[in-house]
Amino acid sequence: MNLVLFISVLIISFIIVRIGAIAFQMTGLEWSVAKFQALSCFTATGFTTREAEMITTHPRRRRIATVLIVLGHAGLVTMIATFANSLRPRVEELPIPLLPIDIPKSALPLINLAVILVAIYVIYKVFTNTKFAQRLTNALRKRIVKSDIIKPVTCEELVIATGGYGVSKIQIRKGHPVLDKALSESELRKDDITVLAIIRADKTIPNPIADTKIISGDELICFGKLVNIRKKFT
């Protein structure tokens, strides 16, 4: 029973980390950063200063990180306990039917350990398989979006500088206040936000002039206070 529980918790842990990565991505983090930060939160290791700032300065990301940290600690404690109990020399610990042969109790911990190692390897290979991971990610993302647990944002932070400044990529969608306005009319400069470039389809407009009109589908590369950018575009 302990061995089955250990394997179940391990599988659930992989799924939770994937959900956390999707949640971080939906708040605007780049996918590779989102995956690393989700794993970092769940295992309580691996934070780097600038990427940690992306989490700690963002209220929604802090909430996601808090859940991941709590679940990570609970999962770690459960796995340690079940792993230790799985290595105790008790016949009932074996999760599969045995052939009608006598197995010394002293060999049971080694058998359980072998099963654990094989299970870890198989689970790791399955969850790191590109096709399976992509299908799982798409299915989980659809589920999250449908349940409206986390609403995707249009602001993706690209570079974090000191003093709370940084570069963000903003996706302009229908209904946004700056839509169909020229940069000079958008009042972005009043919020200390500078548009460095506009990505329109496959074309990049560097250093756009003041009368450049913002249209639906544009991606604005902006520099400024990240707090101001989030307030303006999320």
Span 30-88, pLDDT tens digits: 788 888 889 888 988 766 656 777 787 777 888 899 999 999 988 888 888 887 777 76
Domain ranges, ordered by start, for the chain: 2-147, 155-233
Q: What contacts 24+ positions apart, CB below 8 Å, involve 200-205? A: none
Category of 30 on φ-ψ map: left (φ > 0), alpha (ψ -120 to 50) or beta: beta
Output the DSSP codes for 140-177.
HHHHHHHHTSS---SEEEEEE-GGGEEEEEEE--TT-T
Type of residue found at 189: R
Q: 128 Cβ partners below 8 Å, 6+ apart? A: none
Contact 27, 150 (CB under 8 A): yes
Q: 229 exposed, middle or buried (CB, 10 Å; 0-12, 13-18, 19+)?
A: buried
Q: pLDDT confidence of 90, banded at 50, 70, 90? A: low
> What are the residues whose beta carbons fall under 8 Å from the beta carbon of 153, sequence distance 6 or more?
26, 27, 28, 233, 234
| Average pLDDT score over residue span 170-178 | 82
Res 97 pLDDT > 60: no
Measured distance CA(108)–CA(112) in Å, rounded: 6
Confidence of residue 182 (pLDDT cuts 50, 70, 90): very high
Fold of 155-233: Alpha-Beta Plaits (3.30.70)
The model's pTM:
0.61
* Plot region of 148 (φ>0 → left; ψ -120 to 50 → alpha; else → beta): left
Grade residue 226 by pLDDT with cuts at 50, 70 and 90: confident
